[in-house]
Structure 1
Amino acid sequence: MARDDKISGIIGLLHNRSAIQLAPNTPLVDPSHFSWLCIGDTMEQKVIYRYVRQFMKSLEGVEWVLCHSSYELEAATFDSFPNLLPIGPLLPSIQHGQPTSLWTVDETCLEWLNKQPECSVIYVSFGSLTLFGKDQLHELALALENLGRPFLWPDLIDKAGAAYPEGFLDRVGAHGKVVGWCPQRTVLAHPSIACFVTHCGWNSTIEGISNGVPFICWPYFADQFLNQTYIVDIWKVGVGLKANEDGVFSKEEIKNKVEGLMGDEGMRDRVLKLKEEAIRSVTEESSMENLNGFMKAMKGKS
């Protein structure tokens, strides 16, 4: 069988599999969410599969893999794979004026946040790669309008406003702010932030946890689906969205989930506890011990 035929066979087999467990006590994974299956056509999926396979082969014989995580966040995974060494969360200190993104940052959002009540703002960000169709973009925009709560939405797609529902930017001007890009770590650390509507990328997940902000999960690609499982089912610090029959998250669904989350004090208590654990991990407990042990081992090999 040709190599491409083998890859096609693997892709087809996984598409037809039910949820699988990669190691004991770890979350179930839907094979259709594997990074080489959940986006693009068959040709693109083959390219991604080859890349992932080559990456995994490069780890053979590796003594340690340093991870941007902590033992407390993913204990079962680190128990099952002892060569994975968590040394996180790794978050650089916030310094205004220092570039942290490839995109031009609009810092007027920080001035705007300073004027908002504590724990009132819905922060909406899907990273720099996620793209929405017009219908989904409109449902999100209308949900934010109908909520009537302060919101901050960095949106790289359409600075002129043509893609939004007609008149949207004018109608939400009193309580919402749409910018091209913003300094996310600084935003999430701001006391006005109430919740984080996110694509569940790992960096965003870690930043949200480290600042004690609960999540509305909107995964799009690859590990984002597994990250949602941790957020919703294991850590219980966020909620997921349910799509309608057209595969779209409706304005009613988004509005209801945001309102429910913002009224859930238990959710906020849990994420604040997780924040405390993350801080202890990198300052005095498991991640600090792992990093010190790794540096000691490197000195011994020199």
Structure 2
Amino acid sequence: MDTLGHVLAVPLPAQGHVIPMMELAKKLARHGFKVTFVNTDFIQTLLTNSSTKNEYYGNDEDGIRQVSIPDGLELGYTRTDFGRLTEAIRRVMPQKLAELIDKMNNDDMKIKCVFADNCMSWALGVAKKMGIKGVAFCSSPVTTLALFSTIPKLINDGIIDRNDGSIIRQQQAHLSPTMQSMSTATFPWVCFTDMALRESAFKYFVTITEDLKNADLVISNSSDELEPDTFASFPDLLPVGPLSASNRQGNQGGNFWPEDMACLPWLDQQPACSVIYVAFGSSTIHDKKQVEEIALGLELTGRPFLWVLRPSMYQKGNEEFAFCKEQLERRGRVVSWAPQEKVLRHPSVACFMSHCGWNSTMEGISNGVPFLCWPYFADQFLNERFICEAWRVGLGLEKDESTGIVRKDEILNKINQVLSNTSYKSRAMHMKEKLVKSVNEGSSRKNWNHIVEWIKN
């Protein structure tokens, strides 16, 4: 296939943003574009060190070339300080990206368009100054972009504080006259109990919203079927997803940790719709007591389970988990990272206990899997509302009020509710069918075709 031109993809340097941007890059490459995927040096090192990095991550042969630039922090420094990381990114990366584009243009690899994660929207300003088309890519629910754009009104209405976004009045907020109300408790920055972190996150969201004015187009890893009110109220936000619904092989790239592929033959040995899949993403932290309660709850179900338990997920370290791992593996399987797309499309999986990150939400809903919701931070509380209230394909897990722990009995009860009531699975399968149709022949496909022609011309 002759190349349609060269485009640049710039993800936020975080696991939940690199993966969907790689899905977007693969989709662009399949349509004939040459893609340069721009990671930070730190993230590139993680990917290089992952022993399961393979052809699905992208290489020159499949039209995706990988490069990296500095994020402004020394390589040995942790990237968990959100405020310091985002400040360094905005201070250092714009110039580094401009230099990269200049070099590529001089090397006869002229860039036609820059695709930037909406949380890296400063890259759109770089593109605009250099006379290059710019597309913002929202890898979270598009309702978050609608929310960020209404922050000035929320401040003027006395709902949030103008300095750090703290809630002044707990209520249901209307982002537009035609949208359903949104609880102030689900605002993405509100979940941060550390006030300095909350202020950093809030100010960052305000800044990226200003930067989005430099975008020629804003696209979203969502669909009309998932967020109909938002897309109707904000018609300039174009759905092109879920990208996972068009990746029918489940070949996912951009994982920071080695995937345990041996869990797939184990799934093959389990009965259809029997396995509880438990995975809380790349950032969730639980203490020893909570890990114990999850383990006991899973045991009580009497069902097989596949549990993704990152060493960094539990606060006390590996030695603290030795208490139950051997016992658990008599009935289930515990892995440090899983090939999630392949797991969720496996016929033995019955339900998904999830942190409700947007990637996991899209991957689960695109495969017709019911949810048990356990949000941790950011947009995950909003995503839980979509899953439980709008789409009605899952249930939330409630914490014990006195301890803040999700107890084993609660885990057992909610798993039994979801699996005994066939309506959850039925609605999930119905949504899967609608999403596959959307990316193959519906509005997401039409929007995508428009974008391809727009870049070409």
Cα displacement (A) at 1:88:
0.6
Instruction: Report the 3-state secondary structure (helix = DSSP H, G, I; strand = E; otherwise coil) of the residue aligned with 1:163.
Output: helix
> Does 1:94 pair with 2:241?
no
Aligned partner of 1:45 in structure 2 is: 198
Match of 1:187 among 326, 343, 348: 343
RMSD value, Cα: 2.3
1: CA distance, partners of 2:214 / 2:326: 58
Residues 209, 65 of structure 1: CA spacing in aligned structure 2 closer, same or farther, 3 A cutoff? same
Cα displacement (A) at 1:12: 6.6
2:416 corresponds in structure 1 to: 259
Q: CA offsets, 1:64-109, max 9 Å, x none?
A: 211101111111000000110001111245366x754110111111
Please give the alpha-carbon distance, in whole angstroms, between the structure 2 residues aligned to 1:65 and 1:41.
31
**Structure 2 segments unaligned to the other structure (5+ residues):** 1-154
Match for residue 393 of structure 2 among 221, 234, 237:
237
CA contact (8 A) 1:161 1:169 kept: no
Give 1:3's aligned residue.
Answer: none
Deviates more, 1:10-19 or 1:49-58: 10-19
Aligned to 2:433: 276
Unpaired stretches in structure 1, ≥5 consecutive residues: 1-5
Amino acid at match of 2:376: Y
Change (3 A) 1:95 1:32: closer
Distance 1:37 1:123 in 2: 28
1:192-213 Cα shifts (integer Å, max 9, x gaps): 0000000011110110011110
| Cα shift at 1:39 | 1.6
Q: Which residue of 2 aligns with 1:288?
A: 445
Which of 322, 328, 353 is the equivalent residue of 1:197? Answer: 353
| 1:63-82 equivalence runs, <5 A | 63-82=216-235
* CA offsets 1:170-191 (integer angstroms, 9 cap, x no match): 3222211001111000000100
Structure 2 residue 304 is matched with structure 1 residue 150: yes
Q: 1:54 aligned to 207, 229, 237, which one?
A: 207
Measured after TM superposition, the shift of residue 15 of structure 1 is: 4.9
Counterpart in 2 of 1:128? Answer: 282
* Contact 1:15 1:31 survives alignment (8 Å): no
Distance in structure 2 (CA, Å) of the matches to 1:130 and 1:188: 20
- 1:4-42 superposed Cα distances (whole Å, 9 cap, x missing partner): xx9965447515432322224534333243232212411
Deviates more, 1:242-251 or 1:24-33: 24-33
Between 1:252-261 and 1:42-51, the stretch displaced more is 42-51
Question: Between the two proteins, what is the percent identity of the paired residues?
Answer: 42
1:240 offset after TM fit, Å? 0.7
Distance, in Å, in 2 between the alignment partners of 1:101 and 1:27 is: 35
SS in 1 for 2:351: strand
TM-score scaled by length of structure 1: 0.90
1:53 is paired with a residue whose SS is helix
2:400–2:407: 8 Å Cα contact kept in structure 1? yes
How far, CA to CA, are the matches of 1:174 and 1:10 in structure 2?
A: 52
Q: What count of residue pairs does the alignment treat as equivalent?
A: 293
- The whole-number CA distance in structure 2 between the counterparts of 1:270 and 1:39 is 33
For 2:419 and 2:178, the matched residues in 1 are separated by: 30
